[in-house]
Structure 1
Amino acid sequence: MGLSLVEGFTKSLAMTVLSEIGDKTFFTAAILAMRHPRRIVLSGCLTALIVMTILSASLGWAAPNLISRKWAHHVTTVLFFGFGFWSLWEGFKEDGEAEELAEVEAKLDADWKAEKGEAKSNSKGNDDLKKQQRSFLTQFFSPIFLKAFSVTFFGEWGDKSQLATIGLATDENPFGVVLGGILGQALCTTAAVLGGKSLASQISEKMVALSGGVLFLIFGLSSFLSEAEP
């Protein structure tokens, strides 16, 4: 169990770092931190990623109870090979990083303008009426926190790293996968928030994608050569 915990931790940490650096959620955290207090943005983004990591690992842990462990092992192997070739293909694409950064910026700019327009239209309203109209969540959490959480959570849903975490937790110790994933998410998100857009634009997306592709292929080969635990 101890070795399985360490393996799950190291594999999850390496996979998370290489999957999240330069990802949409990375750019999102970097851009939001330029417009809002970094502490709130970091807490919102990181909370969403922690929740997603725990949820994904739980799904991976439950998978062998829903289908046979042998089939779960085979599906995980195929996923790793698929993600490996997918990452290599993304690495060889041109302008992948610029397009992704531009897409995130455009979406956040649209949201930003919509919020400013709404704020201007409501500036003449009564303060008591505004308090009554505030949603239940915004009475307990900062709107910036909720925005960072929601954008990150739904941006990560169905992403390659989430599916890979599910597959990894199927074959490895889920507790180790959670610990490694959370540490990896914390490192990447903190770097994005503190480094800002300048750091995001300096990262070689091609090298990260190629390194991630090689890592996934190694995981897939390791899974292919190993037998499913009974």
Structure 2
Amino acid sequence: MGSSVLEGFTKSLAMTVLSEIGDKTFFAAAILAMRHPRRLVLAGCLSSLIVMTILSVLFGWAAPNLISHKWTHQITTLLFFGFGLWSFWEVFTDDKESEELAEVEAKLDADWKAGNSVSKGNFKDDNDLKKQQKPFLAQFFSPIFLKAFSITFFGEWGDKSQIATIGLASDINPFGVVLGGIIGQVLCTTAAVLGGKSLATQISEKMVSLSSGMLFLVFAVQSLLTSVREL
């Protein structure tokens, strides 16, 4: 944990940007921003990603207290190698560039149609009855905010960027990791919301996977060499 805040910041920022661009949550934010007010979509997506980043860093920070630092370092190194090879595998096996975008768009389209049919069926209901039927949180937050938050949170849960953030925080300065992760999420989500589907369709998923694979392998080699020097 003797690493600098700057190292944690730069590694987390680079990893977050390359992992999130072209990710399902990136596409979801872009599509949602086309159908709903951008400020609500941005607020919902960003709030979710910031919460996820903080939780991941806290978990990574606590890991060395549960497992020896030597083991967490070795696990992190293996994770970086694994994610790097996984990214390269995606480059050479995925034939369709926009498959993930189409998948996210189809799911949101289904939700959109279902929501419209429900709203039409309840149009003639009494206003007081509507308020009683609304979820508790919806009385304090916009339903659009909650939708963007939940889609992003559950879409990001268990993603390789979340696991990589846990690994980074367990091995290097957690404050730098959380700062770099949050700034990276702000940059990517803002670009998705402002750029919309037009930006999402111009992104080369293979180039993003190739770049992130190279970055993960660089982190893995650096971590491996650090382990050798410490031994």
- What range is the shorter-chain TM-score in? over 0.9
Runs of at least 4 residues off by over 6 Å = none
Aligned partner of 2:94 in structure 1 is 94
Tell me the CA shift for residue 98 of structure 1.
1.2
* Contact persistence 2:2–2:172 (CA under 8 A): no
Percent identity at matched positions? 76
| Separation in 2, partners of 1:217, 1:104 | 28
Tell me the CA shift for residue 145 of structure 1.
0.2
| Separation in 1, partners of 2:50, 2:177 | 12
Aligned partner of 2:158 in structure 1 is 158
5+ residue gaps in structure 1?
Answer: none
| Separation in 2, partners of 1:200, 1:105 | 11
Aligned partner of 1:208 in structure 2 is 208
Residues 159 and 186 (structure 1), Cα distance of their counterparts in 2 relative to 1, 3 Å cut: same
1:173 alignment partner AA: N
Matched pairs, number:
230
> Once the two structures are superposed, what CA deviation does each residue of 1:55-106 show, in whole Å capped at 9, x if it has no partner?
0011110111111111111110000000000011112233443110111011
Tell me the CA shift for residue 171 of structure 1.
0.8
Aligned partner of 1:13 in structure 2 is 13
Aligned partner of 2:138 in structure 1 is 138
**Secondary structure in structure 1 of the residue aligned to 2:141:** coil
RMSD: 1.5
Tell me the CA shift for residue 118 of structure 1.
0.6
Q: Pairwise mapping of residues 6-155 of structure 1 onto structure 2 (< 5 A)? A: 6-155=6-155
| Separation in 1, partners of 2:186, 2:36 | 19
Tell me the CA shift for residue 36 of structure 1.
0.2
Mean Cα deviation higher: 90-99 or 164-173: 90-99
1:145 alignment partner AA: F
| Separation in 2, partners of 1:191, 1:95 | 26
Residues 48 and 15 (structure 1), Cα distance of their counterparts in 2 relative to 1, 3 Å cut: same
